[in-house]
Amino acid sequence: MPFSAESSTEKEKRIEKPFLHTLLYAPPPVLLELVSAIADDLSTWSKLGLFGKKFGDRVGRLADWCWFLTTIVGLVENGVERQINDGLQSQGGLVL
């Protein structure tokens, strides 16, 4: 029985990081996706009449730029992964 008590105390000792800590240490592409999603939602809410037209237009432009930057980041990530795969394949480390 002493072993079961020890395992339950180990689970309780685990420290959970606050959301702000997780947000601040997230990779830039994740933060870009978050900003994009929030801007897109605010733009949609503006079209529904919850916010003013001027605010909605500005947030809509921000959402468009975030989408564009997210696309560019995705293309760069794919290019880097492709170079790594091609390098491994030429060295014989990757068999397809």
What would the DSSP string read from start to end of 10-71?
HHHHPPPPPHHHHHHTS-HHHHHHHHHHHHHHHHHHHHTTSS-HHHHHHHHHHHHHHHHHHH
Q: For the chain, what are the domain ranges?
A: 22-89
**Which residues in the chain come in under a pLDDT of 70?**
1-13, 93-96
DSSP state of 95: -
pLDDT score of 8:
56
pTM as predicted: 0.67
pLDDT score of 11:
58
pLDDT score of 50:
93
pLDDT score of 4:
58
pLDDT score of 26:
85
